[in-house]
Amino acid sequence: MIFNANQLPFLSTATKAFIDKKPELLKLFESQSSYFSVNEAIEGKKAFSQNRRVVLVEELKNQYKKLNLNSTDSQQVVSNIECLLSPNTYTVTTGQQLHPLLGPLYVLYKINDTLQYATLLEEVYPELTFIPVFWLASEDHDFDEVKNVNLFGKTFQWTSGESGAIGRFSSNGVVTLMDEILENISLNEEQKGLLIDWKSCYSESQTMSEATAKLVHSIFGFDKLIVVDGDSKALKQELIPVIKKDVLSSTNYKVFNHFSEKLKEQKYSLQLGAREINFFYLDNQLRSRIVREEDLYTVLGTELKFSETELLNLIETEPEKFSPNAVLRPLFQETILPNVAYIGGNAEVNYWLQLKEIFDENNTAAPEIRLRTSVWLLNNKQQKLLNSLSFDPIHFFEINDKSDFLNYLSLSNTVFKDLNVEFEALKDKIQSETRKAGINEMSTLVELGKEYSKLLKKINQLYQDKLSEELDDKLVKINDLFESNFAKESLQERKQFGAEWLLKNPNLIGLLTFKPQIDKYLGLLLNI
């Protein structure tokens, strides 16, 4: 079952306006119309530097050498990477923080969307090649956001004494975590084998970046997908002018706030805030903000201080020590990739909208922005329950509590409500005709009408009470189903881990294969 994405709960006002292409929003993006059109994005990326393609390809080959793939997989990946040398090749990208076992279900949906959209674009533009890319958010340092793994109703915690960029963490801690999972969850032999295969991605890697790249390929294959780690000196050398400009002036901060104010004027909710300097200082076990204090640049929480000359020299010689925050990470991505589409969730769409003038200021063409597909997975037992009640699952998005379920289910048999409506209409007609005829029985007629209305309302209430008794057991089941998937203002795809569903159904990725549509944003109900 497919439904319109606008029926999803929890979408921000800005994201809803974006997917509906509201004229007042479109008007703000005249200089970056690519946000709303992949065709415009392709036109904008035609000027992408050939030299940057060479840098990108060489760096990707180096990154994949570290993964020690077998020869067949390695040849496939290198072939895909070398396609990027052609000016007729573009990328379709998504990204995510590095979470053990990839994280919640929606991560699988983002990657699947990226693969499927790249395939669709090659059908629409047969003279071009589109490479799907998974961008490792390897420099993110919020360990608390990624340390928990939820599987089969149990929570397991990744422990580590490291700090700084999570992509640089040793993957050994996740090996220990997966041993704990294997010991504490009852799995069949096939499931154990799959989990052991995933464990090898971590045990045979040095860092979380390497392990995550291997796991992504283990799940999605090597056919076309490429994983990119931006934590790279070669790639950040392409960003040197942007780093210098940002630390020496507050231009990005000013234009970001200027456009955010325009969005606020339209009453759109905003996701992101900029800083006067939008780079962290990145080193082993350290990712900390750079701030300007009078004539010096200081790394918060450390003794590190630089004069302007020292800082500029460091940017030139060691650009890998400068890590963009959320405001400039998309600009970094679009600087090094010939990217024509970025696929993200609600929050990502929301904050990419705020970046319009960042791209303008830095003379960089923005990609098309696409809201990822939202998917709700049901097993056969759950689907049978819904079918037995003639309950349309789309109404889960409109329901808040058990009483709402009863109200919805009672709508399937509205005979007494309908009779009351018919009676009120008939009563009004009789009164009207009585007046026309000059018959003096109005008071009696009105009183009788009131008595009949009361009677019908009483009968309807008795029916509702009887329905509630008959459906009580099923209501408990359907309410449990609702709470397990939608509690605490969060959809199933944010609550449940993709690894759990892959263990339940190893063919899940194949079942997710559906064709996206240009200019449309959809949700999917999938019975597995």
DSSP 321-372: GEEE-TTTHHHHHHHHS-EEEEEE-HHHHHHHHTTHHHHHHTT-PPPEEEEP
Amino acid 350: pLDDT? 94
pLDDT at 425 over 90: no
Amino acid 297: pLDDT? 97
Amino acid 93: pLDDT? 98
User: Can you tell me the distance from the alpha carbon of 524 to that of 374, in angstroms, rounded to the nearest whole number?
Assistant: 6
pLDDT in tens, 184-227: 999 999 999 999 999 999 999 999 999 999 999 999 999 999 99
Amino acid 402: pLDDT? 61
More confident residue, 485 or 65: 65
500 assigned to some structural domain = no
Q: Are residues 102 and 8 in the same domain?
A: yes
Q: Is 422 exposed, middle or buried (0-12, 13-18, 19+ CB in 10 A)?
A: exposed
More confident residue, 220 or 445: 220
Tell me which of 313-317, 340-344, 439-443, 454-458 is least confident.
Answer: 439-443
Residue showing tokens 């309410």: 479
User: Can you tell me the distance from the alpha carbon of 176 to that of 195, in angstroms, rounded to the nearest whole number?
Assistant: 13
**Once rounded to an integer, what is the mean pLDDT over residues 372-396?**
76
Its domain, for residue 406, covers 390-494
A 10 A CB-CB count for 304 gives 15
383 assigned to some structural domain = no
Amino acid 374: pLDDT? 85
Q: Are residues 138 and 255 in the same domain?
A: no
**Once rounded to an integer, what is the mean pLDDT over residues 270-274?**
92
More confident residue, 415 or 263: 263
Q: Are residues 298 and 440 in the same domain?
A: no
377 assigned to some structural domain = no
- Phi, psi of 10, deg, nearest 5: 75, 5
Domain tally, the chain: 3
More confident residue, 470 or 296: 296
Amino acid 66: pLDDT? 94
Amino acid 401: pLDDT? 62
Amino acid 137: pLDDT? 96
The closest alpha carbon to 105, from 397, 499, 475, 488, belongs to 499
Amino acid 205: pLDDT? 97
Tell me which of 119-123, 413-417, 515-519 is least confident.
Answer: 413-417
**Once rounded to an integer, what is the mean pLDDT over residues 54-60?**
98
More confident residue, 52 or 405: 52
Q: Predicted confidence band at 429 (pLDDT cuts at 50, 70, 90)?
A: confident
Q: Are residues 129 and 244 in the same domain?
A: no
What is the chain's mean pLDDT, rounded? 89
Q: Are residues 107 and 170 in the same domain?
A: yes
pLDDT in tens, 129-152: 999 999 999 999 999 999 999 999
In this structure, which amino acid lies at residue 526? L
Q: Predicted confidence band at 421 (pLDDT cuts at 50, 70, 90)?
A: confident
**Three-state DSSP class for 273?**
coil
Q: List 522's β-bridge partners, or say none.
A: 4
Q: Predicted confidence band at 512 (pLDDT cuts at 50, 70, 90)?
A: confident
Q: Are residues 142 and 94 in the same domain?
A: yes
Q: Are residues 366 and 261 in the same domain?
A: no
Give the alpha-carbon dihedral of 61, 64, 68, 74, to 10 degrees: -70
More confident residue, 175 or 524: 175
pLDDT at 16 over 60: yes
pLDDT at 329 over 90: yes
499 assigned to some structural domain = no
Q: In the chain, what percentage of residues exceed pLDDT 70?
A: 87
Q: Are 163 and 286 in contact (CB under 8 A)?
A: yes
Tokens for 418, please give them: 């309908």
Amino acid 417: pLDDT? 64
228 assigned to some structural domain = yes
Q: Are residues 31 and 179 in the same domain?
A: yes
384 assigned to some structural domain = no
pLDDT at 525 over 70: no
Cα–Cα distances (Å) from 182 to 43, 100, 178, 198, 358, in that order, read: 50, 14, 6, 12, 47
User: Can you tell me the distance from the alpha carbon of 256 to that of 274, in angstroms, rounded to the nearest whole number?
Assistant: 7
Q: Are residues 304 and 348 in the same domain?
A: no
How are the residues of the chain apportioned to helix, strand and coil, as percentages rounded to the nearest 5?
Answer: 60, 15, 25
User: Can you tell me the distance from the alpha carbon of 485 to that of 274, in angstroms, rounded to the nearest whole number?
Assistant: 34
501 assigned to some structural domain = no
340 assigned to some structural domain = yes
Q: Are residues 66 and 155 in the same domain?
A: yes
Tokens for 201, please give them: 């991605």
Tokens for 407, please give them: 């109200």
Residues 186, 192, 198, 199, CA torsion sign: positive
Q: Are residues 312 and 330 in the same domain?
A: no
Q: Are residues 329 and 434 in the same domain?
A: no
